Structure 1
Amino acid sequence: MSGCALVIFAKAPVAGLAKTRLIPALGAHGAAALAGRMLAHAVRVGAAAGLDSLEICAAPDASHPVFGRLAHAHGLALSVQGDGDLGARMHRAFTRVLAARRGALLVGTDAPALDADMLAGARAALHTHDAVFVPALDGGYALVGLRAPQPALFEQMAWSTSTVMAGTRERLRAAGLRWAELPAVADVDEPADLAHLPKGWLP
Structure 2
Amino acid sequence: MNKLKKLKTALIIFLKYPELGRSKTRLAATVGNENALKVYIELLAHTNLISKELNFDKYLFYDKVTAHKMPWGDDIYHTAYQLESDLGGRMQNAFEQLFDKGYERIVIIGSDCYELTQEIIEEAFNKLNSNKVVVGPAKDGGYYLLGLSQLIPQLFSDVAWSTEEVFSSTIKILKSLNLSYDTTPILSDIDTEDDLTEKLKLLIS
Q: TM-score, structure 2 length as denominator?
A: 0.90
Paired residue secondary structure (1:25): helix
Other structure's SS at 1:57 match: strand
3-state SS of the aligned residue for 2:96? Answer: helix
Q: Distance in 1 between matches of 2:189 and 2:156?
A: 19
Task: Tell me the residue number matched to 2:91.
Answer: 90
Shift of 1:195: 3.1
- Give the corresponding residue for 2:56: 52
> 1:7 touches 1:107 (CA, 8 Å); kept in 2?
yes
1:46 and 1:202 map into 2 onto residues whose CA distance is 25
The Cα of 1:198 is off from its aligned counterpart by 5.8
1:125 aligns with 2:127: yes
2:16 aligned residue: 11
**Contact 1:8–1:108 (8 Å) recurs in 2:** yes
Shift in CA distance, 127/14, structure 1 to aligned 2, threshold 3 Å: same
Question: What's the CA shift string for 1:116-166, capped at 9, x where partnerless?
Answer: 110110000000000001100000000000001111001042111100000
The answer on whether the counterparts of 2:136 and 2:145 sit within 8 Å (CA) in structure 1 is yes
CA RMSD of aligned residues (A): 1.9
Q: Structure 1 unaligned segments of length 5 or more: list them.
A: none
In structure 2, how many angstroms separate the alpha carbons of the residues matched to 1:96 and 1:160? 24
Deviations 1:48-98 (A, max 9, x none): 3x232011100122422xx241234x6211100021100000001111112
For the residues of structure 2 that align with 1:44 and 1:167, how far apart are their CA atoms?
A: 31
The C-alpha deviation readout for 1:29-64, integer Å capped at 9, x for no partner, is 22122212212211221113x232011100122422
Counterpart-to-counterpart distance in 2, 1:120 and 1:186: 18
Could you tell me the percent identity over the aligned residues? 29
Report how many aligned residue pairs link the two structures.
199
Query: Using a 3 Å threshold, how does the CA distance of structure 1 residues 63 and 196 change in structure 2: closer, same or farther?
Result: farther
Conserved in 2, the CA contact under 8 Å of 1:131 and 1:147? yes
Q: Does structure 1 retain, via aligned residues, the 8 Å contact 2:52–2:76?
A: no
> Superposed, which structure 2 residues align to 1:151-170 within 5 Å?
151-170=153-172
Please give the alpha-carbon distance, in whole angstroms, between the structure 1 residues aligned to 2:136 and 2:158: 21
SS of the counterpart of 2:106?
Answer: strand
- The answer as to 2:30 corresponding to 1:25 is yes
Moved over 2 A (4+): 61-64, 195-203
Query: Does the 8 Å CA contact 1:57/1:79 hold for their aligned counterparts?
Result: yes
**Alpha-carbon distance change, 122 to 47 in structure 1, aligned in 2, over 3 angstroms:** same
TM-score (norm 1): 0.91
Distance in 1 (alpha carbons) for counterparts of 2:161 and 2:55: 27
Contact 1:6 1:51 (C-alpha < 8 Å) held by counterparts: no
Q: 1:202 to 1:123 in 2, by over 3 A?
A: farther
By how many angstroms is 1:200 displaced?
5.0
Taking a change above 3 Å as real, the CA distance of residues 201 and 148 of structure 1, as seen in their structure-2 partners, is farther
The separation in 2 between residues aligned to 1:129 and 1:196, in whole angstroms, is 36
Counterparts of 1:106 and 1:36, CA distance in 2 = 20
User: Which of 140, 148, 151 is the matching residue for 1:149?
Assistant: 151
Show CA shifts across 1:164-195 (max 9, x none).
Answer: 00000111111111000111000110111113
